[in-house]
Structure formats: C-alpha cells, structure tokens
Structure 1
Amino acid sequence: MTTFNKPAVTVDEHLALLQGRGLCVNDTHQARHVLETVSFFRLSIYMRPFQVVGKENHSFKSGTDFNQILDLYAFDRELRLLVMDAIETVEVALRASLNNHMSCTYQIDSEPHSGSHWYLHRNRFKEKYNYAKLIRDIETKQQYEGRHLDKEKRKINASRAPSQTKQQRIGHRSKDNYPRFYQHNYQTPALMPGWAMTEELSLGNLSHMYKGLLKDADRKAIARRFNVPHEVLGSWLHTLTFVRNCCAHHSRLWNRELPVQPKILQGEDWQFRKLMPDSQIRPSRRIYVVLILLAHLIRQISPHSQWPLNVKSLVRMYPNVHLAPMGFTCDWQSHIFWSGADA
C-alpha cells in the first residue's frame, strides 16, 4: 500500500495535460466547457481506447481528436437512456404480473383481503428469503408517511383557513402517495395491499422477492408471461438489476463486462461466440447480451414497441464507435430481434 499523492489540478491544467499527451483539441473553449461540466475523471474511461497500450504516460494514438472521445461518451450516455427505458418497461410489467398472479391465486372467498395481502403469509416464501426485511421496509415506509401527514395536518389546522378548506387540504395531502393514503384510511390489515407494496420495492428487491417465492408453480406462472423459464427470468432480473444500477449512477455501459453471465435460452437465436475474433472479449458477458434479452422481453410486453428500432438508430448515429467491445458481431443487424426493425 502506498500513499496517494496526486494533487488537485484546474480545468486548464487538465486541458494542457491532454494536449501534452498528444490529444488534438481544435476547440479549446468547447473542451474547457466539457471538462467543467462532465469532469476529466468521468471522461478518462472513454479515453482509454484512444491511448497507446502500455504507455505509462497515457499518450494518445496519433491523430486522436477530442471529439472522438466526446462521441463515445455521448453514445454511451444515449445507450444508458435506451436501456433504462427498456428496464423500466420490464420492471413495471414484472410488478403487475407478480401481483396479478399471486393475489388471484391466494384469494379465499371467506377472507376478503387474503388475495390483496397475499405477501403477509410468511409460508409463501422460501426459508432463506429475508421476509423480515420486507415487512420492516413496508412498515417503515407507511410510518414515515403517516408522521409526515400528521405534521402537515397540524400545520393546516393551525392556519386561518376556513374549516372546509382545511379538510380539503388535508384530504389532498393524504392522497399524495398510497402508503400515506393507506396509513390514513385503514387499520386492518396493518400494511398496504400487495399491488401497492411492490411499487415501493427497488428492482433488486423485486428480483429477490420473485426468486424467494416458495412454489415453483408461482414462479413459472409469472415467468410464462415473459415467455421464459422461471430460472432464466430469475437470472435475467439479477443481471438487469446490476445494469439498472449502472444506468442510475451514470456509469459506463460501453465495453462493460457483466459480473455474472445471465442464463441463455436454448435455440439458434441464442447462440453466441465464446470469444470475439482476436480478443478475449466474451459476448455472453457484455452489454450486447443484455440488449438481446431486453429485446425479447419487450417483444413479450409491448410487441409494437419501437425500442429495437431505436437501438439500431443509435448505432447508426455513431458509426465510429467500436461495437466489438460490447459483444456486437459484424452481422448483428441480421439477428431476429433487430432484422425486423428498419432504421
């Protein structure tokens, strides 16, 4: 372990450093503005493909222009937005599919809220599932909203507004979100119904809940909506959680290696090279496989979606971006998921 000794430097010093390493900067005003608003550190990961391998001073390959780095950065940013859009569609559909199945499956005529509150039964989850955390999180959310509503009610009641106006304002505040509404209006059951509960879960927690369901039959029924085996859907949700977190934190997708390879469906359309030609890149661990599984899921959820077309359009907008580091093959546009999307 050594002591970190890099001093902070100004934007102009960073710009001079890049030029000293051989980067061509035709518009210094633009470059300075980018370094001020994006930062040298965030851009540095996009500089690596343009730098001479093995050089300790990070010198740039001859002829490299600052705009090439900006194009790669812009492509990656737009790719994240596209991927985030698709993941949102999948996440919303999963919430609906999970509750549509579980609530109706466990509805008992003699117990009016047995279906709506299906998740309150511990025995519907695997022993290893962290059920206590689920209940604790939902309780915490409701209590938090209840306290804030009480605070707002006291403030409204202390005002000089007419009584009718006060009641109207309190009524509006109680409907700001469902946890608050439920806490304000219901006592039994103590927690909100399942279809509201899942809206409070992150994709990661939703993924854990799906895999934590006790019965294979329940997981299979939910996965059937997406036309995949239940163990594959569980694997995909794990992968999408990681990718979503990358997108949410504005992290790089271009040339990102997935920490865990998602399970792949059987069939000709799901065959990938073990390695890209003349490299150690494994397509099954790169973002292209994520785009493929998202295209499949989007097709099941929204058959007329323009998302595949948007992916092709994005790639065509940035013809100089190398696709191989993402796992794209040279004939990727002929794949069934993209061939029907005319960009």
Structure 2
Amino acid sequence: MANLIPFTKRFESSESLVNLLESRGLLICDRNKAIQYLDNIGYYRLSAYMYPLLKMPKTAHLYKEGATFKKVMMLYRFDKKLRLLMFNEIEKIEIAIRRAVMQITADMTGNPFWLTDSSYFLDSSKFNETMRAISKEYSKSKEEFILHFKRTYSEPYPPSWILGELLTIGNVNAIYRNIKQNRIRKRI
C-alpha cells in the first residue's frame, strides 16, 4: 500500500483523445466517426480493444505498424457479438437448471410447495436466508403470473415452479446446495 500514488489524470475530450491516439501511431481514417465512437462508447471501454494493437513494451503506449481505429472497432464489435451469443447459450443453461431444481424436487417430494418448507433443507439458517430473498421478490413482483396467483389462491406462496421464476441463479444454486436429500440432488 505504500507505493500508491494519487490519481492526477484529468478529463480529456474525445477530440483530444483522438489526437493522442494519432500521436501514438494509431491510424484514424475518419476523425469525426472516431470522435463519435469515443463519445458514445467511451475511451476507457475501447482501450481494452486497443491494447492488443500496442507495440512491446505496452507501457510505452505506441501502436504497431498498421494498427487502425477501424481494427479497434472490429475487435469491439466481434466481442459484442460473441458476448451476445454466449449470453444466449448461458440463458438456456440457466433456464434448464432452474427447471430441474424446481420441478424435479417437486416431483420427487410430491410437494409443490417444497421450496418454502424447511423440512426439505439441511441448514435452517440458509433456508431462512433464502426465504427472506423469496419473500422480498414475491412481495415486490409485478409479474402478471404472480399477481394472478395472489388474486386466485389462498396459499402464502405459489408452487416451486412458479416461485422459482422470481429467483436469481445464485438463489437457485443456494437452494440446490441446501436440499437435504442427496438422491434429489443427484437426480437434478
């Protein structure tokens, strides 16, 4: 901690940053477009895509021959498309995990309300923590399926396959790890 230094850099306009990039050897064909990208995306975010185009040592902040702002934007767009594809696939996995935890446990216990029943869990303090999260999400939910359940049924909470839709994947993971019966966890 003794080697920490104060932050002394000041804010720079996008136009100033374009000048800086050019002075370091980055080729910029359309200055106005580069300024617009820096205004909309930000220099700091784009700097991650500029990094591979730097000469060694990278601390000199000089660009390799042929490094262009166009290449920076190509890397940025590629990363954005890859991220969208990955999130799409991750979402499918998350939905499958959520369904498995909520529905397999309901099937194996024969209790659609198992999620709010402490007898199905190993650690009561973790169960209570999960119930606080469930109660919070349930009480503030404006989802039509939740409002319908509240208007229609007398139970304090919906069955697990409905209630599970309100939970984060972190909540679902904590629930899975706290399920008492090992045979249920194995089937999931």
> Scaled by the length of structure 1, what TM-score is found?
0.51
Count of aligned positions: 185
Per-residue CA deviations over 1:122-157 (Å, capped at 9, x if unaligned) read 232232872112211222233234xx7xxxxxxxxx
Are residue 18 (structure 1) and residue 21 (structure 2) matched?
yes
Q: Structure 1 vs Structure 2: percent identity of aligned residues?
A: 26
Structure 1 unmatched ranges of 5 or more? 108-114, 149-175, 223-343
Report the 3-state secondary structure (helix = DSSP H, G, I; strand = E; otherwise coil) of the residue aligned with 2:59. coil
- Matched residue, 1:65: 68
Per-residue CA deviations over 1:235-277 (Å, capped at 9, x if unaligned) read xxxxxxxxxxxxxxxxxxxxxxxxxxxxxxxxxxxxxxxxxxx
- Matched residue, 1:118: 114
Distance in 2 between residues matched to 1:193 and 1:26, nearest whole Å: 59
Are residue 185 (structure 1) and residue 181 (structure 2) matched?
no
Per-residue CA deviations over 1:3-38 (Å, capped at 9, x if unaligned) read 111111101001111101110111212211211111
CA contact (8 A) 1:142 1:183 kept: no
Distance in 2 between residues matched to 1:46 and 1:128, nearest whole Å: 47
Alignment partner of 2:128 out of 132, 135, 139: 132
Alignment partner of 2:101 out of 86, 94, 98: 98
Distance in 1 between residues matched to 2:41 and 2:176, nearest whole Å: 38
Distance in 2 between residues matched to 1:185 and 1:65, nearest whole Å: 61
Alignment partner of 1:214 out of 155, 180, 183: 180
Structure 2 unmatched ranges of 5 or more? none
Report the 3-state secondary structure (helix = DSSP H, G, I; strand = E; otherwise coil) of the residue aligned with 1:116. coil
Higher relative contact order (CA 8 A, sep 6+): 2
Q: Map of 1:36-55 to 2, 5 A cutoff?
A: 36-55=39-58
Are residue 9 (structure 1) and residue 12 (structure 2) matched?
yes
From the superposition, tell whether residues 14 and 69 of structure 1 become closer, same or farther in structure 2 (CA, over 3 Å): same
- Letter of the 1:20 partner, please give it: S
Deviates more, 1:134-143 or 1:37-46: 134-143
Distance in 1 between residues matched to 2:170 and 2:133, nearest whole Å: 14
From the superposition, tell whether residues 141 and 9 of structure 1 become closer, same or farther in structure 2 (CA, over 3 Å): same
Report the 3-state secondary structure (helix = DSSP H, G, I; strand = E; otherwise coil) of the residue aligned with 2:66. coil
> Scaled by the length of structure 2, what TM-score is found?
0.89
Per-residue CA deviations over 1:175-231 (Å, capped at 9, x if unaligned) read x5222222333332x122101111011122222222222222112111xxxxxxxxx
Report the 3-state secondary structure (helix = DSSP H, G, I; strand = E; otherwise coil) of the residue aligned with 1:119. helix
Distance in 2 between residues matched to 1:205 and 1:130, nearest whole Å: 10
Runs of 4+ in 1 over 4 A off after TM superposition: none
Q: Where is the helix percentage greater, Structure 1 or Structure 2? A: 2
Deviates more, 1:135-144 or 1:75-84: 135-144
The alignment's C-alpha RMSD in Å is: 1.9
CA contact (8 A) 2:102 2:161 kept: yes
CA contact (8 A) 2:49 2:75 kept: yes
Query: Alpha-carbon deviation of 1:50?
Result: 0.8
Report the 3-state secondary structure (helix = DSSP H, G, I; strand = E; otherwise coil) of the residue aligned with 1:24. coil
